[in-house]
Every structure is written in structure tokens, then in C-alpha cells.
Structure 1
Amino acid sequence: MSKAPSTAEMLEMVKAMPADLKRELDKLLLADGAPIWVPQDGPQLSAYNSPADIVFYGGSAGGGKTDLLLGLSLTSQEHSIIFRREAVQLVGIEERMAKIIGTRKGYNSQDGVWRLPGKRILELGSVKDAGDWIKYQGRPHDAKLFDEICHFTEMQFRTLIGWLRTDNPKVRQRVVCAGNPPTEPEGEWVKRFWAPWLDPNHGNPAKPGELRWYFTNEKGEDQETDGPEPVMMGGELVKPQSRTFIPSSVDDNLFLAATGYKAKLQALPEPLRSQMLRGDFNAGAADPAWQLIPTEWVKAAQARWKPRDAKGQMTALGFDPARGGIDKSSAAPRYGNWFDHLVTVPGIVTNDGPKAAGFVVPLVRNGACICVDGIGIGSSALDFLVGLNLLVLSVVGSNSSELMDKAGQLRFRNKRAEMYWRMREALDPLNPDPVALPPDPELAADLCAVRYKVVTMGQKAAIQVRSKDEIREALGRSPDKGDCVAMTFVSNIPTPKQAKKERSWRDRLGISQRKRGSAQAA
């Protein structure tokens, strides 16, 4: 009995067929009810069949990532949408879909909507600016599909999947992301979101395809739980969602096996070669030319951090309050050149002065100065803290600075430039006593998102850094953790007044004895 040909062998046979014979084969297959697209054996099939609510498929280039998204919309979903960060990037998806189904019939290029066989619908969407997600607010889809997920901000991703729903109980709802490792710091959130698979330092690593369950806790943060069972939070049951990561590579894609594409990936320079060929999420991404604090400096500061039982004297407490929305209020307890874990709460908890003060006051130790963002809700918190006779410093980033950098060559455009540049100097590994930062991925992302430029200020050159709004645009969220740490580096932070030490009975007795001895001698 002859052995059945493998998938790869059948593909080679089809490739060798004349064009007219291929067309006849297509007609026969469609007449026989064969699906218009099927996933390839291996990782692509595993991702297609994964029961996870949120799947990340890919890592390496050439693993059939875009085909998976198109295949899902063609065969298993009723109303899908594929997102790319920019509209121009959707052209390749349009072309690939036309090649798969053999026609552009049913495609409205103005609306970006495909009317597919089987009464299925696929939309193509883009969110170039951080706030463009609002264009899709309230629009239901049973599949939210992201091509090159590391190009999106975390806020865009989380908000866009919020309207995943369908009124057809027979159709499964799912989120599938495809992409390569991030090449810029703004994409590092992906490594946090899928940390059990992508972070080598994770305490409980996961295997490819393994399911992990998460829910959003009362602090607005992801929290892992043991399984799909509902979790009681805030007086109501919350259903966790499952995630997984399934790696793929060009070796898993039969259609590219004979094209020489792998050789092109092998010829890429490092770290791009490791990222695209092997899907290495920990290969060093090159910092942008004007990144203020090098990524390696931040990693080194977090690597030298060790927990302390005896923390010593608190020297400052940075506080960046938020009024509400998705922003968080964050506080950074500083003890010399060592920072304790940052403390955060949802902005709604600190939406007025008394509430903001109620959050931060219990965190103060040793009468340390509270450095508060003095704009917006921060001004209300500031007034209330001053009324409590606490040591407080208002930090207004737009105010002028009189300082210069350590080399004495450059001035600072404003206080924001001053505090971030001074922090940069403190993080410099050549500093005799460099700063130690807690291992907080969001803090690292905030600090690495700051850019700077040299501008003219009067007769001198000055350093100007990216504004908070510009960082918010890049990250898709407020850089509250980075700002609360940076505020502790602003100049002229007052030191607490040392309280008079009460003399012990031994001291008082010693003074009395000396006085009595002096009197007897006289």
C-alpha cells in the first residue's frame, strides 16, 4: 500500500500543475464543499483551534501570521475586524485576501469592508493616533484581530477589545494578535501582557499554547488567578479571561519554505536578526537617537534593586495624582538612592484634594517632603496637604529652571527637563552611587519613553524633554510612575526639620552632678 503524500509534497505537486489544471482543481474542491482556507499543520493550526480568549501568535517573521487572521475571518467568524496601526499598512492585507479568494468582488475600498462568502463580513481598521480607538467605540465584532500588535499602544488594545460581542450564540468571540518582537520601547507592554511566555524572569513561566487566566483587580491592574472560575471583587463576581502565546517561525510556513525568505532573515543585522528569525523578545532593541535615559541604564537600576527591611530615612515622596478616568495616582517613596515599591490607585480614588491627601499621607515617613505635581488635581491636593502642616513642594514642570547639567554646558528649558536630566545623571552607571529602582515594567516603559532635544534659550543651549501629553500619546496612557519618581530629583527639595531630641534621665543627671561638683569646688 503506497504511503499518502505529506502536506509539503502535495503543495509541491500543486505548484507544478499548469494554470488551467489549477483552476479546475479549485472548482472541484469548492464543488465538494472544501473550505476556502485551512490552517497549516503546526503552530498555525494550534492558534486557530486555541480555546484562549486572547491569543498572541507569532514572534518570528514569516510564520503565516496575517494568513491566520484572514483565515479566521473567512471560515470561523461572522463579523471580524483586522486592525493595523496605519491605514497604508492595510494595503498588504487587502492584496493577500484578494489572492486567497481569487477576486476583489465584495470589497468596498472606501469603507474598508469585505462581503465574504457565507455572508461573512470583514472590516479593515486603523488607529494611527493614540485616541483613534474612539472611532470604533460601541461597534460590535465577534473577532478583534490585530496585525503587528507591538505597534499599538496598550490603551488602544485594551479599549478596542472592550466591544467584543455578538448576538449570535453560535459564533465564538475571540481576540487574536499577530506580530514580531517590539523594536521600540513603546511596544514593551506586550511583554508585560504575555509575561509568563515572554519574560525570562517571570516566576511562573508558561509553555507555548498553555492557558493562563486574568482579571482586572480593584487597582485597575491585571491579576492572575488559578482558573476560569469567577472571582469575587468589589461585591460582584468577575469572570477571568484566558490568554496564551503560540510561537511560530518561517520554518512552519510551507508557502515560504522554498522562496529563500529564511536566507533574507538570516542576513539581517543584530538585534533585528534575532527578533525576526528566532522571535527573540529579549534581543536588545536599539534606543532611538534622542532617548533621554538609555534602556540599559534603567534595566541596570532595576537589576541592582534589592528589598530592604531597614529602609533608613525617607528623603522624599514623589506624588503624581490623577482625577479619574484610566489614569492612576502614583507615589514614589525615596530613601536616598533607593526607591521602595511604587504605590498606585485608580484615579477615581483621588479625584479631589482630601481624597488625594488621604492616599498619600499614610505613605510619608520621617517628615519627608511630598513633591506634588502642582497642576490640575495636584493643586487641590497640594492645598490640602499644606493645610495639614506637612512639608510639601509644588512641582510645576513648565516653570523655569536656573540649573545646568553636571558638565556645566547646558541649561534646562524648564523644571521638567531639570528633574528628568538630574535623574538621568543619577542613573548613569558611572555614578559612584547610582540609583536603584524597583523592578516595575510600567516604570521602565515610562522612563524609556522620554525623549529630549537641545534648543536655543537666549544666548545658551538648553535641554528640552518630551511633554507629559506627548508621552501619553506614545504610550497610550499617563506616565504617572515615571513622573512621580522624576519629581524627587527636582532641585531645592526642603529637608525636614530635625525635632529637638529630648534629654534622657542619664543626660539630665550628668548635668546636675557636674553643676553640684562645680559648686563644691567653689
Structure 2
Amino acid sequence: MDRLLAVKAKWTPLPGPQTQAYECLADVILYGGAAGGGKTDLALGKSLTQHQRALILRREYPQLSGIIDRANDLYSDYGIFNSGKGVWRCTFEGKRRVIEFGSVQHEDDKLKYQGRPHDLKVFDEAANFLESQVEFIAGWNRSEDPSQRCQVLLCSNPPTDATGDWLIRWFAPWLDPNHANPARPGELRFFATVGGQQFECHDGRPFLIVEQENGDQVMVYDFDPATVDPVDIIRPLTRTFIPARVTDNPFYSQSGYVAKLQALPEPLRSKMLYGDFAAGREDDPWQIIPSEWVRLAQERWRVRPRPYIPMTALGVDVARGGADQTIHTPRYANWFDEQVCFPGTATPDGFVVAQQIFNMREPTTLVNIDVVGVGASPFDLVRAAIGDKIWGVSGSAGTDELDRSEQFGFINLRALLWWRMREALDPVNGEDLALPPDAGLLADLCAPRYKKVARGVQVESKEEIKKRIGRSPDKGDSAVYALAERTGGFAFGSI
């Protein structure tokens, strides 16, 4: 304690989790969980003592005030703060340090940091950031100094709404109680991104993605690097989660702060006191499908086998470019099979999508496909072959259908179809749906919000959702299409 309290002493990490995170070699570190575990000091201490150029971000700039105040305490003996630019320039042990503070309140604010390298990227209260913002900004985590370690540090409490659910997906081996191969705190695991999708690798060996003659893509580890374009070689990055609680911080644990955390109402108490990522995540009040309803449907899938019947319907959401995916959702009565996903680059034209449909459907299967934009081309090709067994879904089309209680209508077909999914997932009055336990599907089905207007229920458009959460809910839309059938020129959820 004398060392920690010494006047003008060099910053050193607290014994325990903070030291473990400070010395960790992972490329991406999630630190914290509970409140009071020393997240801010870890970010500031690493920036000063381990890194040459650091970027410390909060979602909104006013939220940085406490961090900047603490930086003034730690950095004042080492340099000067430019408050106009939000940059500390320090000299530590003879080496220059540049520590920048910033924010990304809106989705497009991430573009401010395009091409700007930092060897340490810190996202403070990471659960408040969009996944797309973190992915984009972390893309410039680099240094011209080959001896400089580059890291991304995510400091966070558990998410309180769906915005931060990506954290649980990124760190599933540590945070998902249903993960098949759980990881210990601080254990390094390898992850790679292929076609916009992240997945866990067995080890850190570099690999190539090679397309076979049948169109399947496989991972190839044995190759001669001299014969391969270096940009095609995928090198997994390491991640880890290091939990910390207020009891790991002597400055807080002896100050009465624990009693204040204990007095919080649940589930906030469990989140802040214990760092419980699973405790009572709250849905947005206008979220069209409650998260718990989707989880219950996914639990039913785990214990219920696929019915021995022909495929009832195939819902197809066609990629519209960029990071979007083409998603196929097979449905067997009220049991949904695992979704088949293709990156947009793998479905460059209508012929490829049509061929995928022919390969998957059975003779009696109804195909429901989004025909907005590029979906019109595969619709025409498939309809020429199977006739009225395909329905082109145009979300903007009108409908006279009412909700199940016959109390209100819908401004367009998109609103109707999403509401039918809500009704079918209702644990009391629903259709006992079984959905595959896919985290991406859960997130997508819980993403759209709605409002009631004079003409009925209005659901967010894809474009509005993408602007808000930074991605398109392709898996959710595909599942909604798989549920829908048409009758009398309108649509209804049918089992």
C-alpha cells in the first residue's frame, strides 16, 4: 500500500485481475464485468506505460469527463493535455506517448477514425457501442514499430439492452453458459472472421479458404505461403476475458462502495456487483419480439427432433450488397431448421441464388423470397420452374389483415409478417415454434422495433434498423419469410 500511495509514483497495476489484464498477451481483451474493478485505471495505465499511440473511446463525448479527470492525475507529470483536440502528449521513460480521447455517438461517427492507426484501441463501457463500430475502428489497430504489441481493450459492465449483446457472442466461451467448450478467465482462444462471420478456431495456425467444385468452402492449413497472395492468408487473433469485481480494488472495497452496489435493485445489482452478464437484460419497450420468447423457442429446438415430414417452406432473404448475407431458412411445420448462410460475395447474381433454392427445396416446398431489389431476379428464375410454389414478398405492399385479436391492422406487409412471428412465438397463445439456437438469429429477431400509428402497426425498415444497430437483420427476415404463407392475396403466419 505504501508503494501504491507514494506521491508521484509510477503507475502500477493492482495485484490480481488488473495485473493479469495488464500483462495479458491477447490481441483482444475484455476486462471487468462488475463495477469498481479498475477498468479506467487499466486503460489509462496501459496507454502510458505500454503503448506509443492509444485511442480511448466512449460512446458519447460527455461520458469521457471522468476518464479525462483521472488522466490529469496520472499524466500531469509526464506531458501536456490539449483540451481542444482531446489529446495527451507525454514522455514516459524517454519514450513519446500520444493518448487520444474520442467518441462515436452515431453509427457513421466511426468514419472519423478510418485509417488512423493506434497500437492500443480502448472501448470504455464497450457494451454501449455497436458491434459494427468496434469492428471498423479496431481494423486500424496497428503500429509501424515491429516491436510494439498491438491490442484492443474492451472495458465493460454487462450489457443492459440488446445493443451490447455482441459482447456475449464475441466472448461466448467465457460468457455463454451453454457454450460447448467453456474457457477459464484469462485463457487465450483463437478467432477468425470469414465472409463477415466470426468463429472460434482450434488453434492459431494460418489458413486459406478454398472453394471446392460443389461450391462448398473449406479451410486449408497446409499450403506454401510463397505461392499465395499474403492478403488471402487468414491469421486468427487471440481473445480472452478477465473478470474483475470491486473486491479486487482495495481503494473501493474499503470505501463503502460495496454497500452502495449491494443496495441497487435487481438485476442491476447482479450486473454491477458480480458482473453477471446473464442477469435480467432488459428489452426495449418497443421491441416487437421479446427476447425471452425467442430463447424459449430455441430451448424447444434443443430437445425436439425435426419432424419426419417434407419441408413446409423455405424463407429466402437475398443479400443487397456490402456485408449483407443471403440467408435460407427451411421450415418443417413449426420446427425451423438451421439457417444456411452465404456472404453477399457468394451470391453475385440471381442465377446463383436460384440454384441454391433448387438444391435445398423439396417438390412440395413453398418458397417465400424477398423481391425488393436484387431478389426479383432469382424470383423470376425460380417461378419459371415451379410456378405458384413461390411467393415474392414485397414488404411495402399493403394488406387488410388484422392482428389475432382483430383489434388493429398494419401499414404494410412487412409489419404484418413480423407481427405474425411475434404471435407465433407467444409462450401462451403461440404456435410452439422451435428455432435453432443461433445467437445471430436471436439478435436479429430481437432487433426491430415498432410503433402504433393511425393506420396500424409500423415496423422499422431494414434501412432504419441497419442505421441504428450497424447491420442488417438478415437472419431474422429470413425466418419471418419462412413462417409466412399467402392466401387471398394477403399473408398470414401458418403452421
Q: Same fold (TM over 0.5)?
A: yes
Rounded Cα–Cα distance in structure 2 between residues aligned with 1:427 and 1:57: 35
TM-score after normalising by structure 2: 0.89
Give the SS at the match of 1:283: coil
Does residue 73 of structure 1 match 2:69? no
Q: After superposition, what is the alpha-carbon deviation per residue over 1:328-362, rounded to whole angstroms, capped at 9, x for unaligned?
A: 11111111111000110111111221122223321
Q: How many angstroms apart in 1 are the aligned matches of 2:124 and 2:240? A: 16
1:338 aligns with 2:335: yes
Q: Of residues 457, 460, 468 in structure 2, which corresponds to 1:466?
A: 460
Distance 1:171 1:494 in 2: 66
- 1:309 Cα shift? 5.6
How far is 1:370 from its partner? 1.5
Q: Which of 394, 397, 402 is the matching residue for 2:395?
A: 397
CA deviation string 1:188-215 (max 9, x = no partner):
1110100000000000000000011112
Q: Structure 1 residue aligned with 2:429, among 415, 421, 431?
A: 431
TM-score relative to the length of structure 1:
0.85
| Distance (whole Å) between structure 2 residues aligned to residue 105 and residue 53 of structure 1 | 28
Choose from 417, 438, 448 the match for 2:446: 448
Q: Which residue of structure 2 lines up, in the alignment, with residue 476 of structure 1?
A: 470
Which residue number corresponds to residue 59 of structure 2?
85
Q: Secondary structure at the match of 1:135?
A: helix
Match of 1:417 among 415, 418, 421: 415
| 8 Å CA contact retained: 1:267, 1:273 | yes
Secondary structure of 2:241's counterpart equals strand
Aligned to 2:276: 280
Corresponding residue to 1:133 among 110, 118, 123:
110
Q: Distance in 2 between matches of 1:199 and 1:455?
A: 38
Task: Tell me the amino acid that sits aligned with residue 297 of structure 2.
Answer: A
CA contact (8 A) 1:449 1:474 kept: no
Structure 1 310/452 Cα, relative in aligned 2: closer, same or farther at 3 Å?
closer
Residue 163 of structure 1 aligns to a residue in which SS? coil
What is the CA deviation profile of residues 415-439 of structure 1, one whole-angstrom value per residue up to 9, with x for unaligned ones?
Answer: 1110011111100111364111100
Q: Does the Cα contact within 8 Å between 2:315 and 2:483 map onto a contact in 1?
A: no
Q: Which has the larger radius of gyration?
A: 1
What whole-Å deviation, never above 9, does each CA across 1:437-457 have from its counterpart, x for those lacking one? 100111111111121111102
SS in 2 for 1:131: helix
For the 8 Å contact 1:150–1:180, the answer to whether it is kept is: yes
Which residue in 2 is equivalent to 1:321? 318
Q: Residue 209 of structure 2 is aligned with which of 233, 249, 266?
A: 233
> What residue is the counterpart of 2:154 in the other structure?
177
Whether contact under 8 Å (1:420, 1:489) holds in the other structure is no
Give the match for residue 374 of structure 2.
377
Deviation at 1:260, TM superposition (A): 1.4
- One-letter amino acid matched to 1:294: P
Question: Is the alpha carbon distance of 1:153 and 1:285 closer, same or farther for their aligned partners in structure 2, counting shifts above 3 Å?
Answer: same
Residue pair 2:354, 2:378 contacting (<8 A) in 1 also? yes
Contact map agreement 1:146 1:178 (CA 8 A) in 2: yes
Residue of structure 2 in register with 1:51 after alignment: 25
Identity of aligned residues (%): 47
Contact 1:427 1:434 in 2 (8 A): yes
Matching of residue 220 in structure 1 with residue 209 in structure 2 = no
Match runs of 1:26-175 below 5 Å = 26=8, 29=9, 35=10, 37-102=11-76, 106-118=80-92, 119-175=96-152
Structure 1 match to 2:243: 247
**Structure 2: runs of 5+ lacking an equivalent:** 211-227, 490-495
Q: Partner of 1:117: helix, strand, or coil?
A: strand
Shift of 1:59: 0.3
For each residue in 1:193-241, what CA deviation from the matched residue of structure 2 results, as whole angstroms up to 9, or x when unmatched? 0000000000000000001111223x43223222222223337542211
Partners of 1:158 and 1:439 in 2: CA distance: 24
Equivalent of 2:351 in 354, 365, 370: 354
Counterpart code for 1:486: V
1:186–1:474 CA contact under 8 A, matched in 2: no
Please, which runs of 5 or more residues in structure 1 have no aligned partner? 1-6, 15-21, 30-34, 496-522
Quick one: which amino acid aligns to residue 57 of structure 1?
A: Y
Q: Distance in 2 between matches of 1:340 and 1:455?
A: 35
Secondary structure of 1:488 counterpart: helix
Q: Single out whichever of 387-396 and 420-429 deviates more from structure 2.
A: 387-396
RMSD: 2.0
Offset at residue 489 of structure 1 (A): 3.6
* Matched length: 464
CA deviations 1:105-147 (Å, max 9, x no partner) are 6222222211122320011121111232222111111111110
Distance 1:115-1:357 versus aligned 2 partners, 3 A rule:
same
Could you list the per-position Cα deviations for residues 144-187 of structure 1 after superposition, in whole angstroms to 9, with x for gaps in the alignment?
A: 11101111111111111111111111211111110010100121
**Cα shift at 1:317:** 0.9
Aligned twin of 1:209: 186
Per-residue Cα deviation, 1:247-286 (whole angstroms, up to 9, x for no partner): 0011111221222111111111111110111000111212
Instruction: Show the counterpart of 1:502.
Output: none
Q: Give the 3-state SS of the residue equivalent to 1:55 in structure 2.
A: strand
Whole-Å separation in 2 of the counterparts to 1:115 and 1:182: 33
How many Å apart are 1:104 and its aligned residue? Answer: 10
Is the 2:190–2:203 Cα contact (8 Å) retained in structure 1? yes
Change (3 A) 1:432 1:145: closer
| Contact 1:369-1:493 within 8 A present in 2 as well | no
